[in-house]
Amino acid sequence: LDGIGPVILSGVELAGRIRSRLASEIASTGGRPPGLAVVMVGDDPASSVYVSSKEKACARIGMAGSVLRLRGDSTQEEALAAVRALNEDPAVDGILCQLPLPAHISPSAVSSAIDPSKDVDGLHPENVGRLWRGEEGLFPCTPLGIMALLGEYRIGIEGVRVVVIGRSDIVGKPIAAMMLHANATVTLAHSHTRELQNLCREADVLVAAVGRPGMITREFLKQGSVVIDVGISRTSDGLRGDVDFGSASHVCSAVTPVPGGVGPLTIALLLSNTVKAWRKHLA
C-alpha cells in the first residue's frame, strides 16, 4: 500500500445526507417538530461546546433543541427532578444528559430516570437490554454512526475478527453488541488486557475508543485491516484521535480521520434517534 495509502472513511458527506433526509421528513410531516432536550449540569467548557453544537444541529434541520442548564452544585435529586419534568413534557421527544456529570451525581441514576422512549443516547437499562437481545430500541449514537459508515463504504463484517479497545457504555460495549449482531467475532479489550498489540494485530477491523492520542501505531495493526478511530483528544496540535495516522496508514487498508470521521456521524445519529422517537410519539 506504500505510496497509495488507505481509503479515508469520511463521515462528513454521509452525515450531511442523513441530516438532509431528516430535514425533509420533518418539513413534509408538518405539525409539532421533534424536540430534543439536553440536560447539562455545571459549566465544563468542552461540554458547553458540544451542547451548543447539538443545539445548532437541531435548529438547522427544523428540530426544537433546548438546553436545560443546572448549576454545578445541583443535587442528584434536582437533576432527576429535571429529567422527570422532561419525561412529562409532550414537546420533548429526546432527552440526553451531557457527560461528564459532577462526581456527586451518578450517571447511571440519571440515565435510568429517562423515559426509555425518549432515551436518545440509548443508556437506559431497557434500551441496553434491547440492544443485547437484538430487539428494536434506541441505541447509542456513536456506534450507530460507525455501523452506518461501514455500510456506506460496503465494508462487510460478517465472519470477520473485530477488536474493540475501550468498554464504555456509550461506545465500546454497544459497538461490540452491534458488531456481534452483524455476525462479526468480537473481542472487547481494555486497560487490563494483556498483550494488547498482539491481540490487535489479529483484527480485521480495529475500533479504538480509548482517548489516548496516537496510541495505535502500525505495530498494532494487521496488514490490510480497517481502522475506526473513535478517540477525540484535545492536544496542543488540535484534535487528535487514538490512531497515529501517519504510522497506521502504512499498514491499514481504510481508516477514519479525526476530525471528520466518526464525530460528524455521532450528531447526525443523535438527530436521527430523536426523529425516530418523535415518529413513535406522533403515532
Q: By CB under 6 A, name the binding residues for ligand NAP.
A: 142, 165-168, 170-172, 189-193, 196, 209-212, 230-233, 262-263, 266
Query: For the stretch 206-239, what's the b/e string if a residue is b when 16 or more beta carbons lie within 10 angstroms of its beta carbon?
Result: bbbbbeebbbbeeebbbeebbbbbbbbbeeeeee
Is 98 an annotated catalytic residue?
Answer: yes
Task: Catalogue the E-assigned strands of 122-261.
Answer: 161-165, 185-189, 205-208, 226-229, 233-235, 238-240, 254-255
Nearer to ligand NAP by C-beta: 117 or 220? 220
Is 223 an annotated catalytic residue?
Answer: no
- Smallest gap from Cβ 151 to ligand NAP, in A, equals 17
> Cβ atoms within 10 A of the Cβ of 59, count?
11
- Smallest gap from Cβ 63 to ligand NAP, in A, equals 19
- Smallest gap from Cβ 71 to ligand NAP, in A, equals 24
Nearer to ligand NAP by C-beta: 92 or 230? 230
- Smallest gap from Cβ 134 to ligand NAP, in A, equals 22
Nearer to ligand NAP by C-beta: 81 or 180? 180
In this structure, what DSSP letter does residue 140 have? -
- Smallest gap from Cβ 170 to ligand NAP, in A, equals 5
Nearer to ligand NAP by C-beta: 33 or 241? 241
Q: Which residue is nearest to ligand NAP (CB)?
A: 211
The single residue of 54, 118, 173, 222 carrying the catalytic annotation is 54
The single residue of 93, 115, 121, 229 carrying the catalytic annotation is 121
The Cα 258–Cα 251 span in angstroms is 18
Q: Directed axis angle between helix 12-29 and helix 45-60, to 10°?
A: 50
Beta partners for 119?
95
Sheet order of strands, 161-165 included: 7-8, 254-255, 226-229, 205-208, 161-165, 185-189
The Cα 202–Cα 125 span in angstroms is 32
Is 197 an annotated catalytic residue?
Answer: no
> Cβ atoms within 10 A of the Cβ of 4, count?
8
The single residue of 93, 98, 118, 229 carrying the catalytic annotation is 98
Nearer to ligand NAP by C-beta: 110 or 209? 209
Could you list the active site residues? 54, 98, 121
